[in-house]
Amino acid sequence: MTDPLLTVRDFSVEYDVTPPVKAVKNVSLQLQRGEILGLAGESGCGKTTLAYGVQRLLRAPAVITGGDVVFHDAKAGDIDVNALDAGEMQRFRWDKISMVFQGAMNALNPVATIGAQLDDVFAVHRPQMSKAERRRECEQLLEIVRVGKERFRSYPHELSGGMRQRVMIAMALALRPQLMVMDEPTTALDVLVQRDILKQISELRHEFGFSVIFITHDLPLLLEISDRIAIMREGEIVELAASRDIWERPQHEYTRKLLSSFPRLTGAKGVLVR
């Protein structure tokens, strides 16, 4: 039995330039509650545009040209995201869907402390909370992501890349959203830190029950962390299946080429497929 959290139907985005560029073409998918859905494909295939479009974060010249986005809220029922006005959309973001942006390690304000930046999330979205309550929540978040509450007064430059990434995850987790969208969250991290971050994302998902859309061009990484994987090419989803099926029984030629493009540590040398 399925328990959908997000349904996207025939979703399209176009960049209004000369000539126009169709970045996302009639994409349809359904995300299940508690699921990690990987979104893979080469750079420029439309992964990030799709993620931004679903949350209505796109800026000109990007234009949503068609499709429906329905969020199946656990308490409020079905929400037509495209029908929300500006005020409703502001409340919807971070409360229902949060995002860890690409290049998140450099997204922190360099002249504000970690605590002040976390506090802003609660000050804007939970104005009824007292300063002491916000402080407790911020310190708890820093403990949850294993940064430590003693870093509350630290500045971003005093933290390692991995710790800054954890702070961004803490911000995304602050309001306990039902869906977290992560756009290349481990880019620029070394392999050991990357593995630790991925392990923590999986642990937090199980602890808090949120779903994840995990965007990356690194297909082997998605095979390790995702329940299902959607393969994008030129703005379209060409294959969507369970991670094991993608690995063992890829159906689309493009998926097979993606898999063959990653070198193996063992076995005979192969020929790069172009």
How far apart are the C-alpha atoms of 21 and 17, rounded to whole Å?
Answer: 7
Q: How large a percentage of the chain has pLDDT more than 90?
A: 74
pLDDT value for 184: 87
pLDDT category of residue 221 using cuts at 50, 70 and 90: confident
Give the mean model confidence (pLDDT) for residues 93-122: 89
pLDDT value for 273: 52
Residues 6+ apart with CB under 8 A from 19: none
How far apart are the C-alpha atoms of 137 and 32, rounded to whole Å?
Answer: 28
pLDDT value for 191: 81
CATH entry 3.40.50.300 includes domain 4-260: yes
What tens digit of pLDDT does each residue of 131-190 get? 999 999 999 999 999 999 999 999 999 998 889 989 999 999 999 999 999 998 877 778
- Among candidate residues 185, 195, 239, the one with its CA nearest the CA of residue 217: 185
Give the mean model confidence (pLDDT) for residues 108-123: 95
Mean pLDDT over each residue of the chain, to the nearest integer: 91
pLDDT category of residue 269 using cuts at 50, 70 and 90: low
What tens digit of pLDDT does each residue of 12-63 get? 999 999 999 999 999 999 999 999 999 999 989 999 999 999 999 999 999 9
Tokens for 197?
A: 């971050």
Q: Report which residue type is found at 41.
A: G
Helix axes 191-208, 161-173, angle to 10 degrees: 20
Residue 105, φ and ψ in degrees, nearest 5: -60, -25
pLDDT value for 264: 66
Give yes or no for residue 274 having a pLDDT over 60.
no
pLDDT value for 267: 62
pLDDT value for 197: 85
pLDDT category of residue 105 using cuts at 50, 70 and 90: low
**DSSP code per residue over 213-256:** EEEES-HHHHHHH-SEEEEEETTEEEEEEEHHHHHHS--SHHHH
pLDDT value for 270: 59
Give the mean model confidence (pLDDT) for residues 112-130: 95
